[in-house]
Amino acid sequence: MILALDTATPATVVGVAATDGTLLAAHRHDPGAGEKPGHTTQLLPLAHAALTEAGATWSDLTRIGAGVGPGTFTGIRIGVATARALAQGLDIETVALSTLHALALGAVERRLMVADGPSVVPRPGAQGGGPVLAILDARRGEAYVAAYDSAGAQLLAPSAWAPERLAEVPALAPGSWQAVGDGAVRFRAELEAVGVAVSADGADRHKVSAGPLCRLAAEAPPVPRDALVPEYVRAPDAVPRR
């Protein structure tokens, strides 16, 4: 059984899945307006609740996948540290999950479900629509950006971009581009100016969700526990004093 988690965004997202990635239970916490992320207080209770809902216990886990970002520095550290501690205590394998890949995969799967009906269970690699740009607000006037084609292949590795660089996106690959994530919402004007579609601000496709995280966790190669580290992409905002 697999536990997948992500704390790279303000949301705390947890999923429990079978070994093939089939989602069995999902729980999340989204902070309200003016509320700080609840990663520290919510992560383990949400994981316990998901396991209980799936009819499982901690001892049933064989793999844990953690979102390694990019995203908020503190959030990523909390998720990665928790995953490593659980893996050590339970003696199970770990996998690193790209937060941006999970975000993009969720958008592709929702598009396929709309096109083909609710009976479809899409998988990574399924064809459907054009390429997807996953964007998270990186603060400091930048965005964390990664791009994937309709089959889930990476077109652009995660990196930090200034907003004006988003005009380069359509040149990465042909097709009808869509952008998802809170960064897509923030930089809607820049994206729509070059023909990239952005869903309504409150659309679910702008959120990292448990289903894609679990499917990525099932298919990703395991990494040594000590090699499960955050993918910050850029230097932290705070620099230690010399």
Instruction: Answer yes or no: do 159 and 84 share one domain.
Output: no
Q: Are residues 85 and 32 in the same domain?
A: yes
d(CA 178, CA 180): 7
Instruction: Render pLDDT for 143-173 as a digit per residue (tens, 0 to 9).
Output: 999 999 988 889 999 999 999 999 999 999 9
Condensed to tens digits (0 to 9), the pLDDT of residues 18-40 reads 999 999 999 999 999 889 999 99
Contact 220, 96 (CB under 8 A): yes
135 with 223, same domain: the answer is no
pLDDT of residue 115: 42
Where residue 68 sits, what CATH number does that domain have?
3.30.420.40
Residues 178 and 223 in one domain: no
Residue 151's pLDDT is 80
DSSP string, 98-134: -HHHHHHHHHHHHHHHHHH-TT----TT---SS-EEE
pLDDT digits (tens, 9 = 90+) for 81-124: 999 999 999 999 999 999 999 999 998 877 655 444 443 343 43
pTM above 0.85, yes or no: yes
> How many structural domains is the chain composed of?
2
Is residue 50 situated within a structural domain?
A: yes
Tokens of 18: 């079978």
pLDDT band at 236 (very low <50, low <70, confident <90, very high): low
**Same-domain status, 193 and 220:** no
Same domain, 24 and 63: yes
pLDDT at residue 152 in the model: 81
Q: What is the mean pLDDT of residues 121-140?
A: 72
Q: Which two tokens stand for residue 98?
A: 């790209």
Mean pLDDT for the stretch of residues 116-138: 63
CB 8 within 8 A of CB 99: yes
